[in-house]
Structure 1
Amino acid sequence: MVRDFVRREVEPVAAEHDREDTVPHGLIDRMKELGLFGITVPEEYGGMGLDYTTFASIFEELSKGFMTLSGAIGTHHILTYVLTHYGTEEQKQRFLPDLASGRKRGGLALTEPSGGTDMANLQTTATKNGEEYTINGTKMFITNGRYGDMFCLLARTDPDMEPRHKGISCFVVEKGGDGFTVGRDLDKLGYRGLDTSELIFDNFAVPEDNLIGGKEGAGFGMVMSGLETGRINIAARAVGVAQAAFEAAIKYSQGRETFGKPISEHQAIQLKLADMATKIQAARLLVYDAAAKKDTGQRVDLESGMAKLFASEVCLEVAMESMRVHGGAGYIKDLPVERYYRDAPLMVIGEGTNEIMRLVIAKQLLRLPEYQL
């Protein structure tokens, strides 16, 4: 279903949306019709209730055609995950049906101008005033920021709490009302055709009923758990882009001739193709291993971190190698290879930089019982 949608409707228009940096609203509407805004949302709340292995395969297929499209449902699914696993029953009933159908688009308001990796030291505050919280702060690099309707927002409710991550709470913030402004839209190298924006909160009032789970100080753990699924989706995107770059290279190599024969018959090109295909398959297996473990209900900090780290680095390498195989043809905008090359760094940076992924992986390894002295 998704593969056919990508081939018939996405691929013919991807280059135009990338070039013009226009949001493909028509394609996003089709994704709503296909149920892709509620992939893992339980059926009782209007979603498809699918597993994370299927979730990963959907992100791979979308990204193979136009990685930007997967962004429309990426952090949207972090919001649905947090609500599904930590929201009150009233919150699930109120928010999930509209999110699952796509009537409302969600996002994650985590990163700030001062950074996103150091989550425990975020600066946005939420101050309790009667039956409301007053939000003040700025969020940066927010996907769906312009066209999204509601966001999973992290804010500090207790500035004096130590350790500091225990003073962070998680809210559903909805657009509308004074004090919530969408600032500038960011002009990006790649990942074009999707709104990535600044969100500004200036004494913005949020009902206390929008505090996820109805409990202060639990937001850090909620979002960290949600980011496991985010890293699975980022890793799956990387596999999709890498696969597209590889397929472009192997097809081009069979049609392009030098010295009287297709370049695919030159050993130098064959070595590249072999390495590309092998690394992509290894990355894919890491992604689906993490997804399968997530399906069992286990924490997958380690597995999702490994998948995200390895798949994104492979994607960056394969995009470059595909350009090398294409030579000059790969450097011009007539072919999608240069788009793959511009899109690849997003997966290295997004959902935690790869430098942080290495630290997460090492920390988890050092906690494993089998490695204790």
Structure 2
Amino acid sequence: MSGMDQDVFDAFLEQLKRYVRERLVPAEKQILETDVIPDEIMKEMRDMGLFGLTMPEEFGGAGMNISQYTRTIRELSYAMPCYRSITSINIGMVCSALMKGGTAEQKAEWLPRLAGGEIASFGLTEPGSGSDSAAMQTMATRSGNGYVLNGTKRYITNAPFANVALIMARTSKEALPKNAHVSAFLVPMDTPGISVGKSDKKMGQAGSHIADIIMEDVHVPGDALLGGEEGKGFVTAMQSLDNGRLSVGSAAAGYARRALDSAMRYANERKAFGEPIANFQLIQQMLADSEIEIYAAECMLEDAARRADAGENILRKAAAAKVFASEMCGRVVDRVVQIYGGAGYLAEYDAERFFRDSRIYRIYEGTTQILQLQIAKHMLREWSASA
């Protein structure tokens, strides 16, 4: 993918960097108190085009390629995670699924709306299933020209304020090979029969909301079926998860950089034994190890994104980059708490929040363990084929 003109992208990135530090970071205190991104910031983010980064220009987007998108997410994720959460489901997953699997009519209807800042949700996980699609319970039953949806989706990011959800549902009771029993539906959230549970209380990630989506006899027309073909939904969803995983990996790398900057500031200000703790070699070791690991994650993410832009299948590399970046972020924020010492355990200081916010990165868009299994499965399959 050619993407946005490089000079234009560089200028945009510089503008975003300033915006993140001058506007988004200072607003974090208010979001921590209210658990909501202020309306005026939401408007500014829409006006900056942050909801349409990867949408083609003809649909009102910026037309970024994957390398530019992941770089943008890293910059945006220097600020607290809710800013990425509200935009990234649109761009990283639902837009990707539409671009890869939507009909011309679906693209024409939904891409401009998503680029303009309507909020999307991605409805895969259920109370009894996530990566295990054979256990999925949500059913889409044919009714006239359309379908009736029944089921519950769980831990759905943006559900409380989404305008549309991409819902995965069974169109066959039997589990079929290659997950052909699962289809995807574009469902406006104001469709009768849809209700949203109360926003779940979480360990961290203030301002980002997850909730259940409950569907009771939800009638959707035939053209709600993504791609107009049954049995393609799960495949499309999994392909868009590659982008979702690069987005989460980029978020982890961006936030690790923020945490490390915070630790650098603290280590230079805090004195012990008459000098800044930054002078102590074991503090320096933690700072250096963090720098090394962030750099490694950035390189992995840039390489995977470049390969995706070149048309390579990056399933394994996207999974590897997401695992490394999210686990790396966990190690960095742990060191940051340690550098802060006793202050790192207090809610008054940022280190404690960085620690809590980062824990989810190793879980969503595929847990570390599921992705390890996926990577190994593909390694072993390739080994068998070449043996």
State the TM-score, normalized to the length of structure 1: 0.96
Following the alignment from structure 2 to structure 1, what is the Cα–Cα distance between the partners of residues 362 and 175?
32
1:166-193 per-residue CA deviation (whole Å, 9 max, x = no partner) reads 1110110002232100112101111111
CA distance in 1, matches of 2:336, 2:139: 46
In the alignment, what sits opposite 2:225?
211
- Distance in 2 of aligned mates of 1:117 and 1:100: 28
* Cα distance, 1:288 vs structure 2: 1.1
CA distance in 2, matches of 1:132, 1:264: 64
DSSP 3-state at the match of 1:139: strand
Q: In the alignment, which residue of structure 2 is the partner of 1:247?
A: 261
Kept in 1, the 8 Å contact 2:81–2:208? The answer is no
Determine the C-alpha separation between the residues in 2 that align with 1:181 and 1:370.
47
Map of 1:7-22 to 2, 5 A cutoff? 7-22=21-36
Tell me the alpha carbon deviations over residues 174-226 of structure 1, each in whole angstroms, 9 at most, x when there is no partner: 02232100112101111111221110000001111010110000111100000
* Displacement over 4 Å in runs of 4+: none
**Counterpart-to-counterpart distance in 1, 2:38 and 2:70:** 22
Q: Do residues 225 (structure 1) and 256 (structure 2) align?
A: no
1:38 matched to 2:52: yes
SS in 1 for 2:127: coil
Q: Label 1:265 to 1:223 Cα distance change in 2 as closer, same or farther (>3 A).
A: same
Paired AA for residue 96 in structure 1: L
Which structure 1 segments of 5+ residues have no match?
A: none
Pairwise CA distance, 1:369: 6.2
8 Å Cα contact 1:301/1:364 also seen in 2: no
| 1:176 equivalent in alignment to 2:190 | yes
Equivalent position amino acid for 2:199 in 1 = D
Q: Distance in 2 between matches of 1:156 and 1:48?
A: 34
- Aligned-CA RMSD value: 1.5
Return the alpha-carbon distance in structure 2 between the equivalents of residues 120 and 44 of structure 1.
Answer: 38
Q: How many angstroms apart in 1 are the aligned matches of 2:40 and 2:80?
A: 14
Matched residue type, 1:298: E
1:330 aligns with 2:344: yes
* Distance in 2 separating the partners of 1:54 and 1:24: 27
Counterpart of 2:111 in structure 1: which amino acid?
L
Cα distance in 1 for partners of 2:314, 2:39 equals 33
- The percentage of counterpart residues that share the same residue type is 35
Asked if the contact 2:74/2:250 (under 8 Å) is kept, the reply is yes
Match of residue 70, structure 1, among 84, 88, 92: 84
Match of 1:131 in 2: 145
CA distance in 2, matches of 1:15, 1:317: 25
Q: Deviations over 1:41-61 (max 9, x none)?
A: 111111111011111112112
1:287 alignment partner, SS class: helix
Q: CA deviation at 1:370?
A: 9.8
SS at match of 1:49: coil
202, 207, 216: which one pairs with 1:188?
202
Query: Unpaired runs of 5+ in structure 2?
Result: 1-14
The one of 281, 287, 306 aligned to 2:301? 287
1:76-134 Cα offsets, whole Å, 9 max, x none, are 221111111211111111111111111x2112011101131213421100001011100
Matched letter for residue 330 of structure 1: G
Alignment check: 8 A CA contact 1:238 1:344 kept: yes
**SS of aligned partner of 2:78:** helix
Q: How far 1:161 sits from its partner (Å)?
A: 4.6
The counterpart of 1:105, out of the listed 113, 119, 130, is 119
What does residue 271 of structure 1 align with? 285
Change (3 A) 1:257 1:161: closer
1:364 equivalent to 2:378? Answer: yes
